[in-house]
Amino acid sequence: MKNIIFHLNDNGPKYKQIYERLKSFIEQGDLKTNEPLPSIRQLADSLNVSRNTTLMAYELLVAEGYIRGESRKGYFVNELEPLLYQETHNPSDYHEQTKPVQPFCIDFRADVVDQQHFPLKTWRRLSNQVLTVKDCFRYGDPFGELCLREQIAGYLFQSRGVKTDPNAIVIGSSTQQMLIYLGHILKDEFQSIIVEDPGFDGAREAFQFHRFMFETLPVYETGAELSHLDQMKSRLIYVTPSHQSPMGVSMTIQQRHMLIHWVNKMRGYILEDDYDSEYRYTQKPFPALASIDSTRVIYLGNFSKSFLPGIRLSYMVLPKPLLDRYKHQFRLFESTTSILNQLTMAKFMKNGEWIRHLKRMRLVYKRKMQHLVTVLNKEFEQNISIIGEQSGLFLLVKVHLNRSEEWLIESACAYGVKVYPTSRYFVKNYPEKPMIKLGFSHLSFDDIQLGVELLKKAWL
Ligand SMILES: Cc1ncc(COP(=O)(O)O)c(C=O)c1O
């Protein structure tokens, strides 16, 4: 068994330096697949560190899949996954390398959907059918294909209580794209907008594009502080009432009525982002704000969470005065989204596949969410509290340790687990304890279990 020796310096923990060195030996091929590594004791002796230090380095490498331990034989180098290898060391990659790519064992990202239950066969069949139709070989309607707008109108009425004419629906490629277009027709009449704090930073970016000024509505684990509206000057508000992003709370019926009352009094508009209302696990989704009174509500929906983010298909329902302005302003703009996807989605909805898909996915995600909550509670007990587990494709973990968000993320990363910050969502209403965002939609039950166990090692 070959011994390894290298220099350790005083910059940072020794176990991390050993881990980094061995990782780079493996990635660069200096240590070959299946090659035995020195024992914990041998390596500790030759580097003049404690056995605990080498053990921690080996544990990290095992967690990230670089090496494996075989009982009574020792540690061996694993075959590196080609994807990870290419990402870090593709010799033909002459693009400037910014940050080294960290190979993650478990990634709790929230911007993906479950691949295993995706209706691939049906979607393929329907999109093949669409490709044989003459209609598919043209630019689409600038405001979206009528057949899809009709299906969306039917769905909104059935599932969200929103009654709309298909002609009041505009189809676009993403929520941000639509907010940017919408901002263009709102900016002359409205110079400022109220946003939730914390709230979806992607929407703030879109409003900033038109230099809207912000007023912020504080949101807590218990919900939004709507009483603050009375002191505000803006007449526009952007909200996520069904599943507040990122706090996960839903507005109560009373709060919804309050908001509608406020907007009518102010003669402004509510931008209701209903981005993932389909996934509510404990009870039926509340009806949308636009179902109470749509006169001053701009309803925004998308297929990113409910179906596939890469499909780039979103829509909004515009009140009459805005609709006329929008259609006039953008009459010469081509559609921003694929006609092929629009026609396929229209067929998918018409055949009943859409509702079937939602029912199936609600169950799949509900089970994953329950599993994540159970494992988190078991591993962390009173060291964390869980926020927003009743709906959506992520939850927040409020960590009651005396640690910063940055520390929590970096420590998780050292154990091969990628978790996500929430600080980017806050404007000024910062929480006392850091909150970490965990998505689970693409993870298996085993991944969730392993990810939480590694997090426990990293954090406790
Ligand atoms: C609050 C909110 N709205 C909308 C979206 C969807 O954005 P898009 O339409 O670009 O997929 C997201 C995505 O994460 C979101 O968090």
Q: What is the pLDDT of residue 63?
A: 82
> Within a 10 A sphere around the Cβ of 404, how many other Cβ atoms?
12
Indicate whether 394 and 412 sit together in one domain: yes
Cα separation values, 55 from 62, 278, 375, Å: 10, 46, 26
Q: What is the pLDDT of residue 169?
A: 98
Q: What is the pLDDT of residue 181?
A: 98
pLDDT tier at 94 (50, 70, 90 boundaries)?
very low
Indicate whether 164 and 299 sit together in one domain: yes
Indicate whether 216 and 313 sit together in one domain: yes
Q: Is residue 106 helix, strand or coil?
A: strand
Q: In what order do the strands lie in the sheet with 213-220?
A: 169-172, 314-317, 297-302, 269-273, 236-239, 192-197, 213-220, 223-224
* Overall pTM > 0.85: no
Q: 305 C-alpha to center of ligand 1: Å?
A: 8
Pocket residue to mutate for ligand 1, from 205, 304, 394, most atoms within 8 A of Cβ = 304
CB 145 within 8 A of CB 346: yes
275 lines ligand 1 (CB under 6 A): yes
Residue 391 lies in a domain: yes
Higher pLDDT, 309 or 29: 309
306 lines ligand 1 (CB under 6 A): no
Q: 175 C-alpha to center of ligand 1: Å?
A: 6
Closest-CA residue to 247 (of 221, 226, 273):
221
Question: Does the pLDDT value for residue 88 go beyond 60?
Answer: no
Lowest mean pLDDT among 90-99, 315-324, 364-373: 90-99
Angle at 380 between CA 376 and CA 386, to 5 degrees: 55
Report pLDDT digits (tens) over 256-298: 999 999 999 999 999 999 999 899 998 777 889 999 999 999 9
> Within a 10 A sphere around the Cβ of 68, how many other Cβ atoms?
13
Question: Does the pLDDT value for residue 95 go beyond 90?
Answer: no
Indicate whether 383 and 432 sit together in one domain: yes
* Residue 179: its H or E element: helix 175-186
Nearest C-alpha to atom 14 of ligand 1 is from which residue? Answer: 111
Q: What is the pLDDT of residue 363?
A: 97
Domain boundary residue, one of 334, 351, 368 = 351
Find the CATH number of the domain harbouring 68: 1.10.10.10
- Mark out the alpha helices in 238-383 (DSSP H runs): 253-266, 289-292, 320-329, 339-350, 353-380
Indicate whether 328 and 243 sit together in one domain: yes
Nearest C-alpha to atom 2 of ligand 1 is from which residue? Answer: 275
Q: 196 C-alpha to center of ligand 1: Å?
A: 15
What's the whole-number average pLDDT of the chain? 92
Q: What is the pLDDT of residue 82?
A: 56
Nearest C-alpha to atom 5 of ligand 1 is from which residue? Answer: 275
Q: What is the pLDDT of residue 383?
A: 98
pLDDT tier at 1 (50, 70, 90 boundaries)?
low
176 lines ligand 1 (CB under 6 A): yes
Find the CATH number of the domain harbouring 170: 3.40.640.10
CB 73 within 8 A of CB 35: no
CB 238 within 8 A of CB 275: no
Domain boundary residue, one of 351, 385, 413 = 351
Q: What is the percentage of the chain residues whose pLDDT exceeds 70?
A: 95
Q: 304 C-alpha to center of ligand 1: Å?
A: 7
Q: What is the pLDDT of residue 119?
A: 97
Domain boundary residue, one of 323, 351, 379 = 351
How far apart are alpha carbons 227 and 246 in whole angstroms? 20
How far apart are alpha carbons 210 and 183 in whole angstroms? 7
DSSP labels, 5-43 = -----SSS-HHHHHHHHHHHHHHTTSS-TTPBPPPHHHH
Residue 441 lies in a domain: yes
How far apart are alpha carbons 396 and 389 in whole angstroms? 8
Report pLDDT digits (tens) over 227-236: 999 999 999 9
CB 340 within 8 A of CB 131: yes
Question: Does the pLDDT value for residue 104 go beyond 60?
Answer: yes
Indicate whether 272 and 420 sit together in one domain: no
Indicate whether 191 and 326 sit together in one domain: yes
Q: 238 C-alpha to center of ligand 1: Å?
A: 13
Residue 6 lies in a domain: no
Output the CA torsion sign for 164, 165, 168, 174. positive
Residue 7 lies in a domain: no
Cα separation values, 225 from 96, 179, 195, 217, 354, Å: 46, 24, 12, 7, 36
Nearest C-alpha to atom 10 of ligand 1 is from which residue? Answer: 174
Q: What is the pLDDT of residue 265?
A: 97
pLDDT tier at 321 (50, 70, 90 boundaries)?
very high
Pocket residue to mutate for ligand 1, from 200, 300, 425, most atoms within 8 A of Cβ = 200
Pocket residue to mutate for ligand 1, from 180, 276, 278, most atoms within 8 A of Cβ = 276
Q: 413 C-alpha to center of ligand 1: Å?
A: 25
pLDDT tier at 59 (50, 70, 90 boundaries)?
confident
Q: 301 C-alpha to center of ligand 1: Å?
A: 9
Residue 450 lies in a domain: yes
Find the CATH number of the domain harbouring 393: 3.90.1150.10
Residue 8 lies in a domain: no
Report pLDDT digits (tens) over 339-354: 999 999 999 999 999 9
Indicate whether 344 and 386 sit together in one domain: no
240 lines ligand 1 (CB under 6 A): yes
Indicate whether 370 and 346 sit together in one domain: no
Residues facing 36 on adjacent strands: 76
Indicate whether 148 and 267 sit together in one domain: yes
Residue 397 lies in a domain: yes
Question: Does the pLDDT value for residue 387 go beyond 80?
Answer: yes
Question: Does the pLDDT value for residue 93 go beyond 70?
Answer: no
342 lines ligand 1 (CB under 6 A): no
Nearest C-alpha to atom 4 of ligand 1 is from which residue? Answer: 275
Helices 445-459 + 51-63 axis angle, to 10:
150
Token pair in block for residue 33: 């697949």
175 lines ligand 1 (CB under 6 A): yes
Indicate whether 204 and 297 sit together in one domain: yes
CB 447 within 8 A of CB 112: no
Q: What is the pLDDT of residue 199?
A: 98
Residue 210 lies in a domain: yes
Report pLDDT digits (tens) over 400-459: 999 999 999 999 999 999 999 999 999 999 999 999 999 999 999 999 999 999 999 999
Indicate whether 147 and 229 sit together in one domain: yes
How far apart are alpha carbons 176 and 173 in whole angstroms? 9
How far apart are alpha carbons 261 and 226 in whole angstroms? 12
Q: Could you list the residue range(s) of the whole structural domain that residue 55 is in?
A: 14-89
**What domain count does the chain have?**
3
Q: What is the pLDDT of residue 46?
A: 83
Q: 381 C-alpha to center of ligand 1: Å?
A: 32
Output the CA torsion sign for 14, 18, 24, 25. positive
Q: 275 C-alpha to center of ligand 1: Å?
A: 6
Q: 62 C-alpha to center of ligand 1: Å?
A: 35
